Chain A
Amino acid sequence: MRPIIDIDHISKRYDSGTVALNDVTLQIEEGEILALLGPNGAGKTTLISIICGLVVPTGGTVRVGGHDIRRDWRAARKMIGLVPQEIALEPFETVIDCVRYTRGLYGEAPDDAYIEQLLRSLALWDKRQARTRELSGGMKRRVLIAKALSHRPKVLFLDEPTAGVDVTLRREMWQVVRALRAQGVTIILTTHYLEEAEDMADRIGVINRGELLLVKPKDALMGEFGKKRLTIALDRPLAALPGALQGRGLALSADGATLFYDYDTRAERTGIAHLLADLSGCGIAVRDVSTKQSNLEEIFMSLVEDEPAESQEVPA
């Protein structure tokens, strides 16, 4: 199947020498949710801005639905909707006029029935005659989503859609995104909230210092990089780890009451059965056992921290 977005060796180098993106290649399939993760200044917004036409790349090509974004820009842009990171709305305009305006900009005929359906789905219909400056932050974000969807795009870019949004509104936003995916819209989102990516994305891409470090299905990423930790609560605290248990990757808590054992879930043998047997053999009674999967945040941190700390500046 042909990807809906085909990014081929895209680079962006500014006149100052700063490399914002370095030879990024990525294919995005139709109907998926791709989350782009990376620290501030990693290049996430630059990548989105290039695809949407806000930033001109210094190298490489991008095709959206088979249309080159530079040669066949009208057809490519018609397929895209963008929700920017910053809330940018004309303050004195009403919600419904805002959305109608964006639809008109995309060259679409007026369709008040669709606009009504869109505003209702985003819980904005009751506010349609309100001026945007009168809205709360969460509502303004939803207006931006309504504008981005006003021309029925096939691809929706959400640049930090829930930044600065409280937990309740964030969850509402996730519901909106899931509903869009159910309608077949391809969604690319950048986020700082790893929980967001973990909860919503089909695939996750990690960008750091302008390089795309990896792109993997979320489950594969969690499985490959994720470790599980076995926590063993002891009946009685230990002063030190017995000799028979040394060299087994066990760690003893400071109070001596808990043992920690990290293991790879994909390994043929996790070693848990032997460990429990050896504990019993050493006369150590176990009070409780629990396991915890490492989360995306820990995986992300390990990936980004493993990167060599190179300068972004390129000599002239």
Chain B
Amino acid sequence: MNWRSARAVFNHEMARFFRTVWQSLASPVLSTVLYFVVFGAAIGGRIESVEGVPYGAFIVPGLMMLTVLQQSVANASFGIYFPKFSGTIYEILVAPTGWIEVTLGFVGAAAAKAVLIALVILLTSFWFNGVHIAHPFWMLAFLVLTAIAFSLLGFIIGLWAKSFEQLQIVPMMVITPLVFLGGAFYSASMLPPFWEGVAKLNPVLYLISGFRWSFFDLADVPVGVSLVAVGLTILVCMAAIRWIFLSGWRLRE
């Protein structure tokens, strides 16, 4: 394990984030604020509270999760795909740097960016919705663990992708629908029993549920299950990345 290598990749990725700070930070924050305005302030005023929580506040954890998932996947997948596209991946492959250092650097940076954006959104939400956080430690823990899990997933997508189209297709066709159907804007308990059962097949529901619990003490599924779900996602993704680097799949000839 070489910490300097991991730090070099991390700093390199963070420098790219700060070079394009308007696109990286301001753009997702602005999009989420628009959700607050439209769903929270405008439509939310006409919706009854959900399980005792005003609708404008209820959607805050879901919207934060939506952003974290999208940003984690996008940052990590682009972070590793761009060197493949530009050819600079060679210097990572010829360096005395193992898969764990490379993953720590890229995934750590992608997760850090996503968490940073989510925290800015949270600060903004205080102004719009006056959100109260019941379990601040667990809120932060769910935020960081989810960002890591989905950055790992994004990293795999970036390693797998052979074109910009492939890079976009999984986040667009899989991740975004899962988030929207995972209870970002509603509680699974509001669905008819059959669809509630179907919704529970969606892994993202467990993440949003755990995260919402940390805010309001309300959960669609037990919090322990949410933690296991995110932990399992991290382990499976780590195993897949280890295999990709050791076998050289889509990296080495």
Contacts and interface: CB of A to CB of B under 8 A. Distances in A.
A314 B106 CA distance: 41
A73 B15 contact: no
B87 A54 contact: no
B253 A54 contact: yes
Given A55-B253, A73-B96, A78-B96, A104 B8 contact: yes
Interface string B91-104: 11111111000000
B95 A105 contact: yes
A89 B88 contact: yes
Interface string B176-209: 0000000000000000000000000000000000
Contact of A106 (B15, B16, B93, B95): B95
Contacts of A86: 87
Nearest to A75: B96
B24 interface: no
Interface residues of A, number: 34
Given A104-B5, A104-B8, A91 B86 contact: yes
Contacts of A82: 90-91, 94
B7 interface: yes
Nearest to A110: B4
A265 B249 CA distance: 54
Given A54-B90, A86-B87, A88-B87, A49 B253 contact: yes
- Interface size range of chain B in the complex: 20 to 34
B243 to A, nearest CB: 15
A193 interface: no
Interface in B84-124: 86-88, 90-98
Contact of A54 (B9, B12, B93, B96): B93
B233 interface: no
Given A49-B253, A54-B252, A88-B87, A107 B94 contact: no
24 contacts: A14-B253, A53-B94, A54-B90, A54-B93, A56-B248, A77-B96, A82-B90, A82-B91, A86-B87, A88-B87, A88-B88, A91-B86, A92-B19, A101-B8, A101-B12, A104-B7, A104-B11, A104-B12, A105-B5, A105-B8, A105-B9, A105-B97, A106-B97, A107-B2
Interface of B: 2, 4-5, 7-9, 11-12, 15-16, 19, 83, 86-88, 90-98, 248, 252-253
Given A53-B252, A74-B96, A104-B5, 10 more contacts: A54-B252, A54-B253, A75-B96, A84-B87, A88-B88, A89-B86, A104-B8, A105-B91, A105-B95, A107-B4
